Each structure stands twice: as structure tokens, then as C-alpha cells.
Structure 1
Amino acid sequence: MNASVFRPRLLAAAVSLCFAAPLAAHADDAAQAGQALTSVVVTGARFDADPSLAPIGATIISADEIRRAGAGDVNAAIRKIGGVYGRQSLDGSPDYGLDLRGFGTNSSQNLVIVVDGVRLSENELSNAILSTIPIDTVERIEILRGGASVLYGDGATGGVINIVTKRPGQYSSRGSVFLEGGQFHAGEARVSAAQAWDGFAADATLDRQRTDNYRDNNAFKQTHFSGGAQWFANDYDRAGFRYEGARQDMRFAGSLTEAQFNANPRQTLTPNDNGSLDSDRLTVFGQYRLFGHDLAADLSYRKKTVASTYVFGGIPSTSTYDSKQLQFSPRVRKLGALRGMVNELVAGVDFIKWERSTVSGFSAADANQKSKALYLRDELRFDPAHEGRVSAGVRRELFDKDFSDPLNYATTAYNVVQGLNAWELQASYMPVSALTVFGKLGQSYRVANVDENAVTPVINKALAPQQSHDMELGASYATATQKLTARVFRHNLTNEIFYDPTANFGFGANTNLDPTRRQGLELDAEQRLAAAWTVNAHYQHVQATFRDGVNDGREMVLVPKNTLTARLSWTPASGQTADIGAQWVDKQRYGSDFDNSCAGEMPSFTTLDARYARTFGRWEWAVSGQNLADKHYYSQAFACKGGIYPADGRQLKLSARYTF
């Protein structure tokens, strides 16, 4: 069976080398530079960093902003507060497909999601599962738009979303009980607690949620547990482990034609399709400061089992696959001074071993992928009065892919080794007070995953790697009450990996497209209107087009030209908070409309959400609503006026939280 044709339905330790290159600097200067960088606020170059070494041009979402907006999960926080466009999930889960810079149906393959240094993005056509990350444990979310393959490797052309969880302080404790209920038989119960002593801390979260969702046969249930412990000696030296386990059951509502959507967007034509997902992840981490060098390493093991049943003509077709991934990422940083200037030199390696086996009536695939990468990045902070910064980095990564499937109608076997290079140059400078200008140049890449290589134009031939030449120029103006950031960007892609329904004599195939381009403008704005009132907005304009070949000049599919997200927050000192948000999404091409010949486009839409909360002692009561205008719309449509997956209608919820 063609895995790509049914993609919308199927989306549902190691040896290490670590080196250091000390700087030729005076010991006193280095010590002073180290003392000046003790405030841990953000994550730069895969290490904790002072604000002066924050990722250039990054958007930071704080825990307070997440709480105020009432985001129930990490994915919602990224969309609502960070202004990242998201597409409704196909399996009823809250894990929307996130899209940085207009990569359409392959958006999840063109951004990297990292949690505390561990990569969640995997070698499959699926979204990273963020709904299993307890929202109460999140300290901040960093959104870094644009190419970032030097530090994060495969698939970081659109950008990186880095999720950082809270760190314990000595002799501290926190805990909460959260209950929520709402329309569509939605409900959630969550208990979390954390305790820290002198040099040791532990935390745990247990969560259960369920919903029938807006559409028929689209129920979703999830139980997940997250817990860990760590030993710490000071603000930096620490070691620990974390376990995350999730059990999901979901039912698949399937797609509709435009006529069916207009008649009843809640209906389903696939009343018996269903699936499940079991996921377990164990991570061991450590970091230590030794002789002026910061050493860190993460070792992560993940096992996932996905099962699905689809009914065709009354006959069920079942499929189960088990995948495992082992990741080991040691790295070292030398933070010191070079002729009075702060310098940060980072070197590291990434080892990933992934394997998957499939059992079904149409596939018996065994797939393996190994990758090993070496990267080096240096950043220099010059002219402190004007916050001048310049950085450069390089990465080399080798992929070894092996695949065998005697039952597949197309590709049955391949073995290929692919080597990729990435590089970057970045700079920022404050020419006048409060105004910072910045620029980035680089090369990023991604390789085809196992699902994409299963159905290609040439049988048993893996797709060529995708490469992108990236450019960004921007400026940021920030004062105590306002901040405005503007960026212009361009990504020129060669061999973009994409599903082309017109390939393979009209049967469709994953292929390397003719040269393409993403270019546009991004605006981020925040303004404190009064002591208790704040407004923020995120706007993106993107042109996604072919720049050569038979479709030269035509628009790419499933990419809205414009998106705008805005939020107004009210936070008086009376124990009340209110938050209202709106998102407008421009029209976009249907998923099959490569030659732009379809007589129509996916309609634009605007959605509204809001939340009001009030505290009474340790209790917080809140009422929230999604899609308040009950707009009938869709963000997924894979055929011309067809293959439509309707988005959720209006939903109201009531919640209570007790904090102890």
C-alpha cells in the first residue's frame, strides 16, 4: 500500500568523542567573564546562558504568560502566545502540526523540537508529541525562527522550538491539582508535585484527559505520567533522570468533500477507523564545570508502539509498528575572555540510532537509521556598550539508512549513506539605545525519512537530501513598556522533499521538487498599555513558490500567505486575570494543487478564544472558550475541494486549580 497516498490517515550507550579548544586569554579576565555570566535565563548554543548570549532574534514565552493565557498544553502555548501557525491534528489529539515559515504538509519535518536538550523530532512522518509534557513544569519556551542545522541538525530549516522545564531551588516545594470539564464531553484531571532538599529534588505529574471532540468518531483519550529526580551541587553542576510515559487511544473521523463539509462538518464517513499509541522515554542527563570548561551530556531512549485499524469496503486493515530511538549528545563549552571580550566556544557530537519494524497485511518493513554529527560554534561579544555579537559555526553529519519490505508494492529495499554539511554566520549590534539590528546567513538540510523513502519516483532509490541557503535580516526595538521585532527572510531550497500527487504517472510519490523558495516578513510586537493591560501580536507574510522547473513561479500548497495572531491581557492586582486572542489565517492552495489549476482555494478564517480566571486563596477558578464565534473552517485539505479535515467548533470549559 502506498504510505504516502494514505499519509493523512497514517499520520495518526554509545561511543562518544568530546573535545575542547581553550582560549588564549588571561586567567583573571576569564574569571571575570565567568562571574558576569551567572544569571541563567535562556538557552544559547545548547547551554544555559546569560541574556546577553540569548539566541539572536528568538521569541521567549515565559511560564507567567502561559499561565495567564490559560494554555492547557505546550502546543497551545506555542500557537496562542508565540504566534506559530498550527494545523488541526488528524487523529483528534491536541498536537497540532506546527509550521514555521510556510512548509505546508511537511512543516513538522522542517522544524526541530527539543525538550531540555533532547530532540523530539523523529525519523517518521508524524508530529512531535507535545501533549505529554506537563504544562505546569514548563519554565519557558524559546522559538528560534530560521535555519539552525549547525546546532540542531536534520530538519532545522524552518527553525527550532526549545522547551525548558523548571529547575528546583533548595528547600522548595510546589504542587497542584487541576480539574477541567467542557463541551464535547471533554475532561482533564492532573496532579503534580515537586520537592527539593539540600542537593536533591524530585517531581512527578499524572494526567488523564479525554474528549469526544467536535466531529463524530473522533474521540481521544490520553493518560500520561512524567517524573524525575536530580542531584545538584550549585547553579550549574547537576545530574539526573526523567521518565515520560503516555498511552493514547483515538478514533479517526477521516476527510470530507467540500459539499459534505458544507452540509455537515461534524459527520464522518469512517465510523470504524481507530488507533492507539504507547510511548515511553527515559532520559539521563548531567552537566559539570571542570577546569573552566562546561561539560554536558544527554542520553535518551524512546520506545513507541503505534497501532491502527482502517476499514475499506467493510474489510478492516490493521497495522502495528514498533520504533526505538537512542540518542546521545555530549558537548563542551569554554566560556572566557579574549582581550577583554566575552567568548563562547561550543563543540559537541550527536549520535542517534533509530529502528522500526512494521506488521500489517500490506507491509513487513524493517527500517534502520544511524546518524553521527560533529559541530563547532564560536560566539564573540564585542563592544559591550552596544551589545555587539558575532558568531560562526559548522556541522558535519553522516546518515546511514537501511530499509527492507518484501510486501511493499513500490520500494522493497535500499541502503544508502548520505553526508551533509551546515554552516552559519550571525551578528547583532545596538547602534543606538534600545535598537538592535541583526542578520543571519547559513546552510541547513534535512534527509528523507523512512515513510518518504518508501514510495519514490524510482523504485528502491532513496531521495536526495534537501538543502537550503538561508538569509535573515532584522531589527528589534525594546523599552520597559514595549518591544517590536521585524525580520525579512529567504530560504532557497534545492531538492525539497515533498509529496507530489502528480508524480508517478498521477499515482503520486514522494519526490525531490524542482528548486523552491520561502521568503517573507515577520513582525512581533508587545505593548504595555497600562499597568494592568498588555497587548501583543505576531504577523507573518510568506511567499512559498517554485523558482524553476515546470511549475516555475507557481505557489506551493497548504501555505497561507498571511497569518496574524493578537492577544489582549488584563492582569490587575485583585486576583483576577483575563485574556482574549484572535487569529486570522489567509487563504491557501489545496494540498494537491501543484499547478495552481484548482478553481478555488481554501478559505481564509478568523478564530477567537478567551479566558477569565479568579483566585480565592489557593484556588483558581477559570472559564475559557475556543473558537468563540463557532467558525466553520479547515486547515487541512489534501485534494482540490476535497480531502478536508474540519477544525473544531466552539467549545467552552470550566476549570479549577488548587495550589499547595
Structure 2
Amino acid sequence: MKNKISTSLVAGLLIATNLYSTDTLETITVTSNAIETDEKKATFSTEIYTKKDIEISKSKDIYDFLASQTSVNVMPNFGNKFSQSLDIRGYGLENGNQNLIVNVNGRRLNNIDNSPQLLASIPLESIEKIEILKGSGSVVYGDGANAGVINIITDKKNSNYIKTYLGNNTSKGGVVSLGYGNEYIIANAYVDYSSTDGSIEDINENKDENYIKNKNFSLVFTPTESLELSLGRTYSNMNTKYGNPITLKQFNENPNKTSSLTEQYFSSYVTTVGARYDFNPNFWIDANFSDEDKKSKFVNFNSESKYNYKTLSSTINYKDNMFKVVAGIDGFDGDKKENGNITTKKNKAAFTSVELNATEDLTFSTGFRRENIEYEYKPQGNTNLKKDHYINAYDFGVNYVLTENQSIFANYNRSFQSPNIDMFFSKDYSNFPLVSIKFNDFIEPSKVQNYTVGYNNFQENNKLKVSLFRANLTNEMFTDPNTWESTNIDKSYKYGFELYDKFLINENLFTSLNYSYIISKIDRENEGNGAYNGKKLPGVSKHNLTVGLGYDFYKFSTFVSHSYKSSAYALNDFENRFSQKQKHYHSTDLSLTFTHKNLEIFGKIQNLFDQNNGIWVQDDGIYPVNFERTFYAGMKVSF
């Protein structure tokens, strides 16, 4: 069966050792946009990282990798390291995750409320490839794909190894990975654990300790050459404590101290079932279903929310030398239970996407999606409240191959974001502790017109991607800090420049670079009586850079990376008037690895130069993040 699950192991940025055994860069097949496409011929902006890119970074977890290696802006969500905010193309740290779809093997990780996607439940070692689509993806992924899509593909067959590490602040972790496969069956088991005693202390000398436990079991059965069946079960449990914001004086003198800690517990249990049938090499159908039970509990406040998410997707696919087409349906049914009240959000959609190779050098693509979103609020003892929307998405793209190594592309994408349930309800606290909740009728879905043009240059020793983009937004959603009610920005826009480069200097020395220049502005916002007009969106850095340098000698390999983000307005500063701005961000990481046969010994220092970083949410309201030097070392044994 051909291309059943993407298992591309093509190396992106590799070196000539027994672990990284190639000294050339090759184009990679992009699978995230439903139609498989060579990245050189893609009609949209892409950023792709392979398993060996992940291995060479020696990142501690997926958040660490995204923050230090990619163009994704990653910061702990109000100090929470397990549930971090994600942003690309200037949607801001507060709402960026709502405008970005994150998928794992086709399962949507976005929540129906304001909570960021829980990437901590994905063990980094299990990831085969990460594909980032920027300014595209709305036809296939729908609601929320305004900025783009992060598609994470895990191993089809696990490697067999044991890994363990220790670090400062009594950090420790371990991984056991087992995989077995033959002509008919692939069976995997994976256990991942990490914990730390923390370094931030409250007035009662409690520390921000945390732990995370992930377990995964999966089975792929191929009874015939044409049929593939899959079944998986994932368990995640995590507990974290994080500090309240501190003043600028405290931040500069001792960021390790806070007034109190917030303790939060997460659990997630996911069952996935999938099937694919190939009628012939050019025609196949597939279907996937997932069921997730998730719980979030704030221990300090004895507040608990329970979620149940069901996702179903199915596509029918056809391809030949000139023409590729996919048509599909998908559905999402999510509910949240909190304080006896139940809120549901249901998405149902149909879509089709087409790619036409008009000539050997000219490729066109187009797609259309129609989606229905329904909300229902079921308060105890009151009448149910309902609302729904019908929204369309479009995509048009073209790619022209200039030479064997060069191509240009242009893409227009219309996307949308419906309100999450926290934004869709207005809360009246005038009779507190009785809180009345009603549908927030003035909240409208946001709609975005994305324009991207780009240039690709792929050589044996260099991979260069350059793109220019602009996004025109109608009804961009945000929470007004003056009223704490969610509302719309009538008109806003974003534009910028993106540069992505991987360069093999020689067989032992290589570099990587990711830079983005982003301007994000509010054009018109009526609710603020014009106070926000012409202002920059808070939490968006103009300059964002990650750069890396690797060198190999004998059985050793070393990699140093640096991440930089320029200063920005504090998260709630929509009027751009706070006396304190978000400080620029600097962090340098250094790793060293020794490899001999099946043994790997590694170590990494994060924030090498002990930079004092934080997230500003207001004047004298700062969450310290990555504010001190940390380190860990360990070993990995393969068998």
C-alpha cells in the first residue's frame, strides 16, 4: 500500500556522521494540505522539520523545539509551561493559539474555550515530522486556520530505545520506546516521564514543581495489500504549579520569588481508530475517528472543567500525472462541563481541493470549504441558549518552477475563526456571587483574506525560502481590558517578510536561520470609541529570529542556537500607552552529543548567558519565563 501514513525520513539539515549520514539537502513531500506535494512545487508557504532536525536540536520537549528552532512564537500561557501560547504571523500571544490549528496525526488539538492546545501531551521523541503551513490550510482544516496550521506526524513504527536524563532543580526524565513490525502488523508502546522541583518560590516556601506522564499504545494491521486498520490509545497526566505576576522591581532583583502559586492538574485520554482502503494506486478512501476525555482542575480554587471531544474525518482521493483531487467531510463535537453547566460547540464541514499540473513547470491549486458551527449553552434550571453560523473558506494558488532548483509561488486564502465558548458568552458579575451568563450577540466570527508570494531555492547544500505576506482581517476577536468582555476589531491588518534557510557549509559544519518581520495593526475598532485605531496589536514582536550552528568531529556533535524577539507592547496594552513594554527576548542554547554504536550521551545548557526574560501583561505585571540558566545531561541506548 503506497503512502498510507507519511513516514518520510528525508533529512533536512544533516551531517556526515554515523547518526547523520547524508551531506545533501533534499526536497520533502508536504502531506498536511490533504494533497501530497513536493515542497518545491507547493502553492503555499511551508516550513518543515524532520525527525533528525528534532534529534540534532536535543530539545527537552516540543515547546522547546518550536521556540528554539522554528518561526512559531512560543511562551508559557500566563506562566503555565505545560499549556503554552502559540503564535505565527502576528496574531499575538493572547489570541494566537485561537488563530492557529494544531493537528496530531489528523486529530485536532484546539480547544472549544480559551485554553491553548495541550502540546505537552505529545512526547517529542515520538515525532516523525512537523509541517507548518503559513497563511493557508483553511480549506482542509477550517475553523481557526487564520494564521495557518501546525501538523505533527508521529512515528508509524517506534524505534527501540531507553533514554534518561537529569538536570538542575532536581529535573529528571525518562523514555521507554518499543516497536515491532512485520508484513501484516506494527505494534508500538511508548512511556514518557519528566519532573522538576522548580525554581520559583512563594512566601510559604512552596516551589513551582511539576510532573508529566505520557503513555501511548498503538496497533496498525494490514490484512491485505489494499486495507490498513489502525487503533491507538494515549494517556497523559500532568500537574504544574506556576507563580503569579510580579512587579518590575521584583523581576529585576529576584524573579525566583512570587506571592503565591497556582496549581493546575491536567489529564487527557484519547482513543483513535482509522482505516484506509486503496482501490488502486491512484484511488483510495480513508476515515479517522478520535474520542478524547480531558480534565482541567485548578486546585487552589477547587474549580474543575471536564471536556469530551469527538472528531470524525473522511476523504476520497484520486491522482494521476496531471490531476489530484480530494473531497472530504469532517465533524467535531465538543462539550465542556463546569459547575453543573454544559456548553457545546459542534462543527460540521464538507470540502474539496484540487491540484492541476498544467505543465511540467506550472502547478495550480484551488479549494472550497463550507462549515456549520453550532453552539448550545445548558445552564441548570434555565432555558437552553443556541446560536449557529455558516461560513465558507477558499484557497487559490500557483507555483512556477523557474529552474531545476528554483520556484516561485503565489497564494490567496480566505479563512475564518468562530468564537470559542469563552468569547461567545458575556458574564454579568453585578449580583456576585450569582453570575448570569448570556450569549454575547455582538461577537461575530472573524474572517481573513491572506495573500502570500514566495521564492524557493533548493541546492544540494542549501535550502532557502523567502515569502512576503499580508492579511486583511474583519472582526478580529479580542477581550477588551477595560470591560473584560470579548468583542470585535472591525478592521485590522498584518503584513511581513519571512526568511528560512538551511546551509551545509561542509560535511561537518552547518547553519540554520529563521527570521520574520511582522507588523500587526488595528485599523478601526468602534467599541473602544476610537482609542485603539491605528495602534499596534499588543504581544507582537516586529523582529523574530532563531539561528543555529552545528559542528561535528569524530563521534561528537555540537549545536548552538539563539532565539531573539524584539520588544512589544504588553498583552493588554491595546492603546499602546503603558509605561512598561514587553522586554526583548534572548536565549542561547548549547548541546553536545557523543555517539558510539547504540549508545548516545548528551547534554544541553539552556539560556546559556542567563538572560532575564518575561511576559508583560500590564504595568508591573510580569510572568518570568526562561529567566535563568538551566542544564541537563543523559544517555540513550538503542536496541
State the TM-score, normalized to the length of structure 1. 0.86
- Separation in structure 2 between the aligned mates of residue 596 and residue 53 of structure 1, nearest angstrom: 42
Contact 1:257 1:644 in 2 (8 A): no
Relative to 1, partners in 2 of residues 1:244 and 1:55: Cα closer, same or farther, differing over 3 Å?
A: farther
Give 1:19-168 correspondences, 5 Å limit.
41-46=29-34, 56-90=44-78, 92-104=80-92, 105-168=94-157
1:54 is displaced (CA, Å) by 5.4
Contact 1:43 1:55 in 2 (8 A): no
In structure 1, what is the equivalent of residue 537 of structure 2?
556
Tell me if 1:655 matches 2:634.
yes
- Separation in structure 2 between the aligned mates of residue 450 and residue 645 of structure 1, nearest angstrom: 29
Higher mean alpha-carbon deviation, 438-447 vs 82-91, is at: 82-91
Relative to 1, partners in 2 of residues 1:144 and 1:40: Cα closer, same or farther, differing over 3 Å?
A: closer
In structure 2, what is the equivalent of residue 221 of structure 1?
211
Tell me if 1:475 matches 2:450.
no
Tell me if 1:238 matches 2:228.
yes
1:382 is displaced (CA, Å) by 2.6
- Separation in structure 1 between the aligned mates of residue 328 and residue 306 of structure 2, nearest angstrom: 30
In structure 1, what is the equivalent of residue 257 of structure 2?
267
Contact 2:503 2:512 in 1 (8 A): yes
Relative to 1, partners in 2 of residues 1:413 and 1:607: Cα closer, same or farther, differing over 3 Å?
A: farther
- Separation in structure 2 between the aligned mates of residue 540 and residue 365 of structure 1, nearest angstrom: 43
The AA in structure 2 aligned to 1:135 is L
In structure 2, what is the equivalent of residue 543 of structure 1?
519
Relative to 1, partners in 2 of residues 1:72 and 1:237: Cα closer, same or farther, differing over 3 Å?
A: farther
Tell me if 1:196 matches 2:181.
yes
Relative to 1, partners in 2 of residues 1:558 and 1:195: Cα closer, same or farther, differing over 3 Å?
A: same
In structure 1, what is the equivalent of residue 431 of structure 2?
none
Relative to 1, partners in 2 of residues 1:512 and 1:116: Cα closer, same or farther, differing over 3 Å?
A: same
1:194 is displaced (CA, Å) by 0.4
Contact 2:233 2:270 in 1 (8 A): yes
Relative to 1, partners in 2 of residues 1:643 and 1:652: Cα closer, same or farther, differing over 3 Å?
A: closer
- Separation in structure 2 between the aligned mates of residue 223 and residue 193 of structure 1, nearest angstrom: 17
1:455 is displaced (CA, Å) by 3.0
The AA in structure 1 aligned to 2:241 is R
Tell me if 1:373 matches 2:349.
yes
In structure 2, what is the equivalent of residue 35 of structure 1?
none
Contact 2:79 2:624 in 1 (8 A): no
2:372 alignment partner, SS class: strand
Higher mean alpha-carbon deviation, 464-473 vs 291-300, is at: 291-300
1:638 is displaced (CA, Å) by 1.6
- Separation in structure 2 between the aligned mates of residue 91 and residue 560 of structure 1, nearest angstrom: 19
In structure 1, what is the equivalent of residue 10 of structure 2?
none
**Aligned partner (choices 316, 324, 328) of residue 308 of structure 2:** 324
Relative to 1, partners in 2 of residues 1:51 and 1:521: Cα closer, same or farther, differing over 3 Å?
A: closer
**Aligned partner (choices 248, 254, 277) of residue 238 of structure 2:** 248
The AA in structure 2 aligned to 1:417 is D
Contact 2:397 2:410 in 1 (8 A): yes
In structure 2, what is the equivalent of residue 632 of structure 1?
612
Relative to 1, partners in 2 of residues 1:164 and 1:243: Cα closer, same or farther, differing over 3 Å?
A: same
Contact 2:476 2:491 in 1 (8 A): yes
State percent identity of aligned pairs.
22
Relative to 1, partners in 2 of residues 1:181 and 1:94: Cα closer, same or farther, differing over 3 Å?
A: farther
1:49 is displaced (CA, Å) by 5.4
The AA in structure 2 aligned to 1:174 is S
Relative to 1, partners in 2 of residues 1:234 and 1:601: Cα closer, same or farther, differing over 3 Å?
A: farther
Contact 1:629 1:650 in 2 (8 A): yes
Tell me if 1:397 matches 2:371.
yes
**Aligned partner (choices 282, 286, 293) of residue 275 of structure 2:** 286
1:595 alignment partner, SS class: coil
- Separation in structure 1 between the aligned mates of residue 179 and residue 255 of structure 2, nearest angstrom: 43
1:371 is displaced (CA, Å) by 1.3
Contact 2:43 2:364 in 1 (8 A): no
In structure 2, what is the equivalent of residue 445 of structure 1?
416
- Separation in structure 1 between the aligned mates of residue 232 and residue 40 of structure 2, nearest angstrom: 30
In structure 1, what is the equivalent of residue 169 of structure 2?
184
User: Deviation per CA, 1:492-542, whole angstroms, max 9, x where unpaired?
Assistant: 11111111102x3xxx21111231111111111111111111101011111
Tell me if 1:301 matches 2:288.
no
The AA in structure 2 aligned to 1:106 is N
In structure 2, what is the equivalent of residue 461 of structure 1?
440
- Separation in structure 2 between the aligned mates of residue 532 and residue 95 of structure 1, nearest angstrom: 37
**Aligned partner (choices 500, 514, 538) of residue 490 of structure 2:** 514
1:395 is displaced (CA, Å) by 0.4
1:275 is displaced (CA, Å) by 1.7
The AA in structure 1 aligned to 2:308 is K
- Separation in structure 2 between the aligned mates of residue 40 and residue 540 of structure 1, nearest angstrom: 22
The AA in structure 1 aligned to 2:630 is Q
Tell me if 1:526 matches 2:502.
yes
Give 1:595-606 correspondences, 5 Å limit.
595-606=575-586
In structure 2, what is the equivalent of residue 16 of structure 1?
none
Higher mean alpha-carbon deviation, 540-549 vs 43-52, is at: 43-52
State the TM-score, normalized to the length of structure 2. 0.88
Relative to 1, partners in 2 of residues 1:235 and 1:566: Cα closer, same or farther, differing over 3 Å?
A: farther
In structure 1, what is the equivalent of residue 6 of structure 2?
none
In structure 1, what is the equivalent of residue 22 of structure 2?
none
2:63 alignment partner, SS class: helix
1:515 alignment partner, SS class: strand
Structure 1 unmatched ranges of 5 or more? 1-38, 311-316
1:52 is displaced (CA, Å) by 6.7
- Separation in structure 2 between the aligned mates of residue 186 and residue 215 of structure 1, nearest angstrom: 14
Structure 2 unmatched ranges of 5 or more? 1-26, 202-206, 429-436
Relative to 1, partners in 2 of residues 1:117 and 1:47: Cα closer, same or farther, differing over 3 Å?
A: farther
How many pairs align?
592
1:373 is displaced (CA, Å) by 0.2
- Separation in structure 1 between the aligned mates of residue 534 and residue 39 of structure 2, nearest angstrom: 42
2:402 alignment partner, SS class: strand
User: Deviation per CA, 1:595-646, whole angstroms, max 9, x where unpaired?
Assistant: 1111231111211001000013311111101111111111x22213324344
- Separation in structure 1 between the aligned mates of residue 81 and residue 579 of structure 2, nearest angstrom: 32
1:174 is displaced (CA, Å) by 3.1
- Separation in structure 2 between the aligned mates of residue 545 and residue 257 of structure 1, nearest angstrom: 28
2:31 alignment partner, SS class: strand
In structure 1, what is the equivalent of residue 547 of structure 2?
566
Contact 1:485 1:525 in 2 (8 A): yes
User: Deviation per CA, 1:560-593, whole angstroms, max 9, x where unpaired?
Assistant: 1111110111234x32211100011100001121
Relative to 1, partners in 2 of residues 1:527 and 1:52: Cα closer, same or farther, differing over 3 Å?
A: closer
In structure 2, what is the equivalent of residue 417 of structure 1?
388
- Separation in structure 1 between the aligned mates of residue 404 and residue 598 of structure 2, nearest angstrom: 42
Contact 1:150 1:422 in 2 (8 A): yes
Relative to 1, partners in 2 of residues 1:487 and 1:43: Cα closer, same or farther, differing over 3 Å?
A: same
1:131 alignment partner, SS class: helix
- Separation in structure 2 between the aligned mates of residue 235 and residue 51 of structure 1, nearest angstrom: 28
**Aligned partner (choices 524, 547, 558) of residue 578 of structure 1:** 558
- Separation in structure 1 between the aligned mates of residue 62 and residue 580 of structure 2, nearest angstrom: 34
Relative to 1, partners in 2 of residues 1:235 and 1:439: Cα closer, same or farther, differing over 3 Å?
A: farther
1:134 is displaced (CA, Å) by 2.7
The AA in structure 2 aligned to 1:190 is V
- Separation in structure 1 between the aligned mates of residue 251 and residue 380 of structure 2, nearest angstrom: 39
